[in-house]
Structure 1
Amino acid sequence: MLKIRDLNVHYGGIHALKGINIDVPENKIVTLIGANGAGKSTTLRSTIGLVKSSSGKIIYNDKDITNRKTKDIVSDGLVMVPEGRRVFPNLTVEENLILGAYIRKDKNAVKKDMKWVYELFPRLKERIWQKAGTMSGGEQQMLAVGRALMTKPKLLMMDEPSLGLAPLIVKEIFEIISEIHKEGVTILLIEQNAKAALEVAHYGYVLETGSIVLEGKGMELLNNDEVQKAYLGE
């Protein structure tokens, strides 16, 4: 579904991504783990067109989307939940969700998806008229994911969904990621919480200073000695 081939990205004099190759097959959860500054967010941002690549190709559903405009990429069903939530603080929960569906014309399907988001996140339903800026970090993360789902994604990219959240909320977020996947959404997950990410992922990549250094099935990487020492503190 998504193929990243020999992707290079430079920020000024910094070589942020060094010829990486990633495959995200349809109906799978793929995770990209690594330390801060490894290039994880740059990978997502270049895929969605927010950062220009220096060379390489990004193929989505057999179409070359390298350096295409972000709005066109989103219209094709490739959607990102950004790091740090980025909800609209002065708008209500419902208004944030409606904005997620701004490119859609299928009003009946939008209503159906709104109902689904409220089923996934009962807490959001309880807070329909609450302004997003007054919500907790966990609730804002749920809203950010819900807003992305309102875009009707075929492939959902998530950038550090568990960052800064309490362990109980992290568990809830990962359960919801599994639920979203069961509904037929393909997921590319960027995470520092390597254990939680690898437990839920079918396949994983380890990124270090802009290069893929390891890849394999989620459980294989979870049991890999190098991964355990570097990312799981074992």
Structure 2
Amino acid sequence: MLKIEDLKVSYGGIQALKGINLEVQEGKIVALIGANGAGKSTTLRSIVGLTKPEAGKITYHGEDLSKVQTKDMVSKGITLVPEGRRVFSNLTVLENIKIGAFYRKDEKNIKEDIEWVYSLFPRLKERTWQLAGTLSGGEQQMLAVGRALMSRPKLLMMDEPSLGLAPLIVKEIFNIIEEIHKQGVTILLIEQNANVSLKIAHQAYVMETGTITLEGTGKELLTNEEVKKAYLGESVHG
């Protein structure tokens, strides 16, 4: 579905990505984990065209994404939930959700999809007329995901969905990610929280300073000693 081949990106003479290869197969949850500054967000920015690579290739269903403008990604079925949620704080919950369907014209289906988002996130339904800026961090994350779903994505990319959230809320968000996946959406997760993301990922990649150092199934990486030591806070014997 999405294929990254030998991708290289530099910022001001510093190489942020040093020729990475990554594949997201249709119908899978794929996790890209790594510490802050490893190059995970640069990878996402390159996919959606916000950062121009100096070398390499990104294809989506065989189409070269470098020829697609960022604003047209949504109509291709690619949607990004950005890091830091980025909700429109002075608009209501419902207005934020509707913005996700900005390019759609099918009013009847939009109404159905709003109900679908509310069924996934009952808390948002209770707060339909509340201003997004007054929601808690967890609720804003739910809203950001709900807004992204309104474009009916085929590939949903999420940048650090667990960042700054309490463990209980993280668990809730990840349960919903699995539910969204069951409804036929392919997911690429960019996460520092290796523990939760590897548990639900079919395929996973570990990134360190612009290089992919490990790849395998989520289960394989969860039990990998190097991953445990670096990302799961366990000793090698733990």
- State the TM bucket, normalised to the shorter chain: over 0.9
Indicate yes or no: 2:193 matched with 1:193.
yes
Matched to 2:82, the amino acid is P
SS of structure 2 residue aligned to 1:165 = coil
**Partner residue, 2:56:** 56
Deviates more, 1:54-63 or 1:198-207: 54-63
**Partner residue, 1:17:** 17
CA contact (8 A) 1:46 1:67 kept: no
Partners of 1:67 and 1:55 lie apart in 2 by 14
Work out the number of aligned pairs and report it: 234
CA contact (8 A) 1:52 1:67 kept: no
Indicate yes or no: 2:230 matched with 1:225.
no
Indicate yes or no: 2:27 matched with 1:35.
no
Percent identity between the two aligned chains: 71
CA contact (8 A) 1:198 1:222 kept: yes
Q: Unpaired segments of 5 or more residues in structure 1?
A: none
Give TM-score scaled by structure 2 length: 0.97
Partners of 2:118 and 2:167 lie apart in 1 by 22
Partners of 2:67 and 2:95 lie apart in 1 by 30
SS of structure 2 residue aligned to 1:50 = coil
Where does 1:82-93 land on structure 2 (aligned, <5 Å)?
82-93=82-93
**Partner residue, 1:75:** 75
**Partner residue, 1:146:** 146
Partners of 1:33 and 1:67 lie apart in 2 by 27
Per-residue deviation at 1:14?
Answer: 1.3
Deviates more, 1:87-96 or 1:102-111: 102-111
RMSD, matched Cα: 0.7
Partners of 1:93 and 1:75 lie apart in 2 by 23
Deviations 1:163-203 (A, max 9, x none): 00001000000000000000000000001110100000001
Per-residue deviation at 1:67?
Answer: 5.4
Matched to 1:225, the amino acid is E
CA contact (8 A) 1:114 1:150 kept: yes
Partners of 2:85 and 2:114 lie apart in 1 by 19
CA contact (8 A) 1:17 1:210 kept: yes
CA contact (8 A) 1:2 1:59 kept: yes
Partners of 1:38 and 1:169 lie apart in 2 by 25
Per-residue deviation at 1:68?
Answer: 2.6
Deviations 1:52-85 (A, max 9, x none): 1111111001111125311111210111000000
Matched to 1:2, the amino acid is L
Partners of 1:201 and 1:195 lie apart in 2 by 10
SS of structure 2 residue aligned to 1:9 = strand
**Partner residue, 2:96:** 96
Deviates more, 1:55-64 or 1:211-220: 55-64
Deviations 1:107-151 (A, max 9, x none): 111111111000000000000000000110000000000000001
Where does 1:72-221 land on structure 2 (aligned, <5 Å)?
72-221=72-221
Partners of 1:67 and 1:229 lie apart in 2 by 40
Give TM-score scaled by structure 1 length: 0.99
Partners of 2:195 and 2:135 lie apart in 1 by 27
Partners of 1:183 and 1:110 lie apart in 2 by 17
SS of structure 1 residue aligned to 2:66 = coil
